[in-house]
């Protein structure tokens, strides 16, 4: 009996110890849960763009931008007001955090300038908010955007890291906003990333970019345009005749990917100059253009990427200056290019500036003579 009682006592003690250990482990787990499951921040407030701390990349930013966010998880709303060279405009939307993707009908889709939001989805990514968007630039250019909203530990700074995949390549931007003292409940949406980044004075590599990618070198080459030094004030007029091959390593394409290859065949019979361009790969695939110029300044007409282009050429010292005016997708595009031949006649540099309805871009193409 004693031995049996002793065994029973030992078993009861073991069970008690096990139960105590289980309770202790549960207590530890419960106490650790807040640390393991990160607290979600509240993005509510009125936020003003800090242009000095922001990085707009190759695309100019707005003059002023204010965002008012109202977060009542899982509901979140955002109202956006933007001031740029086209005036002041804005939009509002509502989304659900970790909810389904929202598709906007054509009559209700948010639109700023030439950018229209088609779909949007917002979800938590740790303590940040991730916004995925499908946008349309003008009538037929598809753009995919991601925007990560991050709140500073002190809650006074909101940073938006943006990435856009466009037909002309990838664009990145970083917008920094300072929190104002007051709050406003204006309603809105988490879609500002797309419209904001490409509205007003900004551009989706722009109409100018698409023009440049397929245009002759005078029109910026295959996306390899840049604004360089102006033509020299004086000097003999060189003959640009020859077959020229793009040297991508010496060129400056900005944020636009270069083509796999590009050649410019130039026939210079003053005052007539003919430029036949051919390229492969890159954002615009394979293609070719031919441009006929008159260096007396007489306007000529050529076809660039299926669009009628008005061209004027003249010599400025030893540099050839070409101005092109054309319409792409109902948007006016102006292209200013300067051709400079090296002293040994072996290198041709084309500095170009493309101006579209939503901003400018500059690039440089360097060609080696074959």
Give 13-18's long-range contacts (Cβ < 8 A, gap of 24+).
Answer: none
Reduced DSSP (H G I as helix, E B as strand, rest coil) percent helix, strand, coil of the chain, to 5: 15, 50, 35
Instruction: Compute the Cα dihedral for 230, 232, 237, 238 and give only its sign.
Output: negative
For residues 190 and 165, give the distance between their C-alpha atoms in angstroms, rounded to a whole number: 18
Phi, psi of 182 (to 5 degrees): -100, 165
Q: Write b or e for each residue in 303-314: b if 16 or more Cβ atoms lie within 10 A of its Cβ, otherwise e.
A: ebbeeebebbbb
pTM exceeds 0.85 for this model: no
Reduce the DSSP state of residue 250 to 3 states and report it: helix
Does the domain formed by 45-197 have CATH 2.40.128.20?
Answer: yes
CB 48 within 8 A of CB 65: yes
Q: Which residue reads 């008690």 in tokens?
A: 16
pLDDT of the chain, 370 residues: tens digit per residue: 444 455 455 545 545 544 454 444 444 343 334 333 457 899 999 999 999 999 987 677 888 999 999 999 999 999 888 887 777 878 888 899 999 999 988 777 887 667 888 899 999 998 999 999 998 877 677 889 899 999 998 999 999 999 888 877 788 889 999 999 754 333 333 333 333 433 333 333 333 333 333 333 333 333 322 223 333 334 468 999 999 999 989 988 776 778 889 999 999 999 999 999 998 887 667 888 889 999 998 999 988 877 888 999 999 888 999 999 888 767 788 889 999 999 888 999 999 888 876 567 788 899 999 9
Q: Which residues pair with 266 in a beta bridge?
A: 242, 275
Phi, psi of 16 (to 5 degrees): -65, -40
CATH for the stretch 206-369: 2.40.128.20
Query: One fold for both 45-197 and 206-369?
Result: yes
**Residue ranges covered by each domain of the chain:** 1-36, 45-197, 206-369
């Amino acid at each position: 009996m004693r031995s049996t009682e002793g065994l029973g006592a030992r078993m009861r003690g073991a069970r008690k110890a096990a139960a105590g250990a289980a309770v202790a482990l549960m207590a530890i787990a419960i106490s650790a849960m807040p640390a393991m499951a990160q607290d979600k921040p509240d993005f509510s407030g009125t936020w003003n763009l800090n242009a000095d701390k922001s990085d707009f990349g190759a695309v100019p930013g707005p003059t002023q931008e204010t965002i008012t966010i109202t977060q009542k998880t899982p509901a979140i709303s955002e109202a956006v007001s933007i001031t740029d060279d086209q005036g002041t405009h804005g939009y509002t939307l509502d989304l659900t955090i970790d909810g389904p993707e929202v598709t906007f009908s054509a009559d209700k889709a948010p639109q700023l300038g030439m950018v229209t939001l088609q779909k949007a989805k917002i979800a938590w990514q740790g303590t940040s908010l991730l916004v995925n968007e499908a946008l349309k630039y003008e009538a037929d250019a598809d753009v995919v955007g991601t925007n990560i909203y991050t709140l500073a530990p002190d809650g006074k700074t909101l940073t938006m890291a943006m990435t856009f995949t466009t037909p002309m390549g990838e664009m990145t931007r970083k917008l920094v906003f300072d929190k104002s003292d007051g709050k406003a409940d204006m309603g809105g949406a988490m879609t500002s990333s797309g419209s904001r980044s490409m509205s007003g004075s900004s551009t989706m590599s722009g109409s100018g970019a698409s023009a440049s990618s397929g245009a002759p070198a005078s029109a910026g080459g295959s996306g390899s345009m840049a604004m360089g030094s102006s033509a020299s004030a004086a000097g003999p007029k060189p003959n640009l005749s020859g077959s020229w091959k793009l040297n991508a390593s010496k060129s400056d394409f900005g944020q636009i990917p270069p083509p796999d290859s590009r050649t410019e065949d130039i026939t210079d019979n003053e005052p007539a100059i003919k430029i036949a361009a051919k390229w492969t790969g890159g954002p615009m695939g394979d293609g070719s253009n031919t441009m006929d110029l008159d260096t007396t300044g007489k306007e000529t007409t050529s076809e660039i990427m299926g669009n009628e282009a008005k061209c004027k050429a003249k010599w400025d010292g030893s540099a050839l200056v070409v101005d092109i005016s054309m319409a792409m997708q109902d948007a006016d595009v102006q292209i200013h290019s300067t051709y400079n031949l090296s002293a040994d006649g072996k290198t041709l540099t084309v500095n170009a500036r493309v101006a579209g309805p939503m901003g400018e871009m500059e690039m440089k193409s360097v060609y080696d003579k074959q």
